[in-house]
Structure 1
Amino acid sequence: MTISHLIATLQKATFSMPRPAAELIIQKYGKDPFLILISCILSLRTTDAISYAASIRLFELARNPQQMVAISEEKIAACIFPVGFYRKKAYTIRHISFVLLKQCEQTVVLKSGQLLALPGVGRKTANLVLGYAYNIPAICVDTHVQRISNRLGLVQTKNPAETEEALKKIIPKKHWIELNSLLVMWGQNICRPQSPKCSECPLATFCPKIGVTKSR
């Protein structure tokens, strides 16, 4: 199975699947780096349905750093509940907003690749913002990308950092941004962590099913 075949198959198979929360945010608000960043933070350790709903509630109150710092941490926490670690995320969201205001030029800061310097922002979040907000090629490695890439035998890695570097060597740069979206949808619907739906998978013929002990 070639990489081109893999990508084309996933594009076709996921066409009618529910889109990831980050894409829904873009559909509703456009490619606003701040909103994409905040929605990504809310999505960590939380299902898409819950994080998307929380994002919408929060963005009804504030859509930029100035508006966000005007809201108390307690009010943000109450608004985003029940996302995972909602109290910690409320603190992080206000902290990020203060940092961006202090730096005055929020767009330049985000676009210059200094996302990792922001509190609570790791490579997964930074790469997602760079890709979705600015169309800068970046591979966002979450649990779905980590699991499926190894399950398919594309990589043999133990952590997201290793996976990102390994995938960069085999995935054409033009597919870096969409790779996360494709594998997230595939992981949520077909290639699940436990008992994946191999009988419904168009990749089953080519997949070595590494680590799979039980499937449907």
Structure 2
Amino acid sequence: MPEKLPFDIAEVVRRIRVAVKPFPKAAMFDLADRGYTTAFQQLVACIISIRTLDEVMLPVAIRLFERAPTPAEMARLSVDEIDALIHDCAFHYGKAGQIREIAERLVAEHGGELACDEALMLSFRGVGPKCTNLVMGVACGEPRIGVDIHVHRVTNRWGYVAAPTPEATMAQLQQTLPKRYWIEINRLLVPFGKHVCTGRLPRCSTCPVLAYCRQVGVEKHR
């Protein structure tokens, strides 16, 4: 293996910005670009996205928000009605109940709006740090790192962090990644991880950041 260059996160990010332009956007960022920018919409979209491909999540979320874009309108739907709208995503019935529960609570306790309140989001059943950080970043503009499987895999493969879980990766990135990239890293590494630095047989031969990547754990590649 050729000797690697010292890791330069600014140059790596610059190259990946160019590399991902031909690919579909990460779904939550795509939703925001389409005008679905409220914290409630972003949180619901993230819930829908769990164990669900972006190309499924995006039209499902849009269909749901065309019917019920606010907590008040969502709370007026039954669990079965929400389920019918999100039926294409994984674990749809459980998610329908979770979404309605959040909407009802926001109407009853928070004036029908979801504020940019990390503690409140984490208090909802089934909402963890990944979705909370994505909402805080995408909807609220606060520097947060949303670590999904792509961010976890790619940054560990680079050798930029060495962490066994996405939660541990998030903690390490908070120590090493400059804050100016905290929101953008998810926007970039979701399409990069899906189309270039794939889980199996990554496309190392055409990767724009191969010179910097330590290829940790890569045994076979294209």
Question: What is the TM-score when the length of structure 2 is the normalising length?
Answer: 0.93
Amino acid of the structure 2 residue aligned with 1:113: E
Number of aligned residue pairs: give it: 215
* 1:103 paired to 2:99: no
Highest RCO, 1 vs 2 (Cα 8 Å, sep ≥ 6):
2
Amino acid at match of 1:124: K
Gap runs ≥5 in structure 2: 1-6
* Counterpart position of 2:94: 88
Deviation string 1:10-36 (CA, Å, 9 cap, x unpaired) is 112112321111112112224211111
Q: 1:130 is aligned with what amino acid?
A: M
Q: Which structure 1 segments of 5+ residues have no match?
A: none
Aligned to 1:70: 76
Contact 1:99 1:118 in 2 (8 A): no
Query: Which of 28-37 and 49-58 deviates more?
Result: 28-37
Matches within 5 A, 1:17-166: 17-105=23-111, 107=113, 110-114=115-119, 115-166=121-172
The one-letter code matched in structure 2 to 1:186 is: F
Q: Distance in 2 between matches of 1:43 and 1:163?
A: 20
Does the CA contact (< 8 Å) of 1:146 and 1:163 recur in 2?
Answer: yes
Once the two structures are overlaid, the 10-residue window that deviates more, 64-73 or 28-37, is 28-37
Q: Which aligned runs of 4 or more in structure 1 are off by greater than 4 angstroms? A: none
- TM-score normalized by the length of structure 1: 0.95
Q: CA deviation at 1:209?
A: 1.0
Greater share of helix: 1
- 1:74-114 CA deviation, whole Å, 9 max, x = no partner? 1111111120111111011001111111222455x531322
Equivalent residues in 2 for 1:9-20, closer than 5 Å: 9-20=15-26
Q: Structure 1, residues 32-59: CA drift from partner, whole Å, max 9, x if none?
A: 1111111111111100110111111111
SS of residue paired to 1:215: coil
Q: Distance in 2 between matches of 1:126 and 1:112?
A: 9
Quick one: percent identity of the two aligned structures? 35
Stretch moving more, 189-198 or 9-18 = 9-18
Note the alpha carbon deviations across 1:104-163, whole angstroms, 9 max, x for none. 2455x5313221112221100000000011110000010001111111101110112211
2:191 maps to 1:214: no
